[in-house]
Structure 1
């Protein structure tokens, strides 16, 4: 947070700075009125606080599986000059922890040319892959600042709880769970108090797992990978959650290309993936990342886990949604927004604007002028 604030204070002085991130927390971080004069957001996931920017001429989005993001860094498809990271203070041996967010951060550290660390006394020290020695860090900024908090359980309403009960009925004892972001996963967890010997292998988790661990429902006894431990890439929740994961050997934070690897996910028996969606058509096709041309979230790890759960012995991929939007519109729709193509284009690692131009280059010549006009209307220059 402090690093970003300091960066945005230099708006106008800096030019052509590309910002790359997945989920970020904190309202108003990116709301500088002159943001576009210095910065361009090239997001790998669209969280609420960058949604407006990503859908403007000052930003874009790269559609990619969460598990594949490290490939972008390692193969220099998306080169990183500087990694801004958030770590715990170093221990007596000089090792800091990436704390709540190992996910793609470890890969960023490995591949960026310069590492700037915000060292926060309130960042929990977590076990797993997120250990980084001070010799790997080029610059330090010390802070004593509370972490951003999100209480998903406070957003649970009657409809969400009903969905949670339906999902809980599908989950067997000894299952291994993945939960996406939002109130529905915590609602599902609150309905699992009578289950036995559940495990957790998930890209992220929140406060909802804590009572199940404390009451012996989550034991991780029957997982084949990281038996006895919760395996995750990152955690978002309240201070209660951050205290729970602090120096807790029951929880391991691992690189996202491992956590979200379908081979690893499927190796656990009865893997259950619980995710949400924006809409589902009558043929069962699911849209989870956009509303028409408006980029709402991102691919994330949903497909990684839905596929991994489908391949797991006794596994179950679950899409859990309310039947209508807040405006009363049906989330079950006749068809998804159509997308067509003519020819072949290499799209891996490209953002939406770059993808559009790549596809236009292989479109029929008779339609290219029209398509270029549509790209201009949507993205600007």
Structure 2
């Protein structure tokens, strides 16, 4: 197929291939194809569809298919719960599939989930008949490869990213054109607590380290502390605006990476338009399949891999909850354990879990035991470094009692005595620790 002979249809025409009972994949984050989503929902409003399963990772922008009125029409079974669908999941009108981010692509490739229709966004085709998935490769590439029908929105605002993001137009069945700007992600400025956490994390990062960081203010606070570092690399599931100044100053150059030397590797992006502009036609950035970026054994090939991820709650033995507390679902398993496992096996690597010591309401996030129903994402067997605003402690190789003592030292001072008492009750009278 050349760039001259593809036929464009309207979004309404394109989504006619969706049938009741189908499984539909949406490209993620900034690349959610809103014009196709709206057209699909219009068919739902008209009573033309029922029992359509919607799958995706984190998405930005509206997610109308999760609304209560579509119960029985659309079933949201996402691989990650973003802010735009969280209330619907908590209310039971939507759901999610707990799975390691690295394995989301296997759901399609190994046939656990049938992909009937993949709805994606791509950049305009080049002279060789290739388009780019831009900011969303993740599990989207697997969906494209296995779908019965692929609908692509050709959008001039999708960056022409390299790596496995580049696909031939022959993989696409239906073309739509729409130039709606990509959805930007908005991050709040780090608080004073988050800045302290960022400082403690930065002190653990060595020159030549290869970085993975999750989503939010803490990663940006960490990156802001790295201006005097040298030869840092990026192998991550996502990155945002915080890396750009470090690339421009030469701090991030990938010179010490074990694989993809000199390249920044990611599978999806969340950020401002500056990030999308940065990856456009940039050979320094490889947008890769999530089975590549989040493979723990590939991650471990980069020396000094340093993975920094957040949590909702940690108990005094080092069990990490990062997806749900009781009936409240906040995100999903994501890529945390992929990188914790990979970083811990990297030569000189560090796996770090970082979070504020208390919630916004002053409740300790370090708890005697996890809340009932809390999901354990990183087990205490995988736990290495833990960071709050009060410092960093390494739990690796420590006994349960030693872990409790270390975790209490980085808890909020107002809660240390209660945690010490809980540890005493759990471990018996031989547990002795004087709170400072």
Give the TM-score, by structure 1 length: 0.86
TM-superposed CA distance for 1:30, in Å, is 4.0
* Partner SS state of residue 208, structure 1: helix
The answer to whether the 8 A contact 1:42-1:54 is kept is no
The answer to whether the 8 A contact 2:152-2:174 is kept is yes
The answer to whether the 8 A contact 1:231-1:251 is kept is yes
**Equivalent residue for 1:134, pick from 163, 169, 182:** 169
The answer to whether the 8 A contact 2:305-2:343 is kept is yes
Q: Distance in 1 between matches of 2:38 and 2:189?
A: 29
**Equivalent residue for 2:113, pick from 53, 64, 78:** 78
Deviations 1:159-213 (CA, angstroms, capped at 9, x unpaired): 1111111110110100000010111111100110010110110010001110000
* Partner SS state of residue 84, structure 2: helix
Q: How many residues align?
A: 339
The answer to whether the 8 A contact 1:30-1:50 is kept is no
Q: Does 1:186 align with 2:225?
A: no
Equivalent position of 1:212 in the other structure: 246
Q: Does 1:69 align with 2:104?
A: yes
Runs of at least 4 residues of structure 1 off by over 6 A? none
* Partner SS state of residue 147, structure 1: coil
Equivalent position of 1:363 in the other structure: none
TM-superposed CA distance for 1:27, in Å, is 3.9
TM-superposed CA distance for 1:293, in Å, is 2.2
Deviations 1:331-374 (CA, angstroms, capped at 9, x unpaired): 1111013569xxxxxxxxxxxxxxxxxxxxxxxxxxxxxxxxxx
User: What's the Cα RMSD here?
Assistant: 1.4
Equivalent position of 2:279 in the other structure: 245
The answer to whether the 8 A contact 1:178-1:274 is kept is yes
The answer to whether the 8 A contact 1:26-1:49 is kept is yes
TM-superposed CA distance for 1:296, in Å, is 1.1
The answer to whether the 8 A contact 2:67-2:88 is kept is no
**Equivalent residue for 1:176, pick from 195, 206, 210:** 210
**Equivalent residue for 1:93, pick from 115, 121, 128:** 128
Equivalent position of 1:314 in the other structure: 348
Of structures 1 and 2, the one scoring higher in RCO (CA 8 A, sep 6+) is 1
**Structure with greater Cα Rg:** 2
Equivalent position of 2:26 in the other structure: none
Q: Does 1:18 align with 2:53?
A: yes
The answer to whether the 8 A contact 2:80-2:333 is kept is yes
* Partner SS state of residue 34, structure 1: helix
Structure 1 gaps, min length 5: 341-381
* Partner SS state of residue 55, structure 1: helix
Q: Distance in 2 between matches of 1:33 and 1:119?
A: 31
Deviations 1:263-301 (CA, angstroms, capped at 9, x unpaired): 101111100000000000111110000011222110010
Q: Distance in 2 between matches of 1:28 and 1:94?
A: 31
Q: Distance in 2 between matches of 1:168 and 1:286?
A: 21
Structure 2 gaps, min length 5: 1-33, 375-436
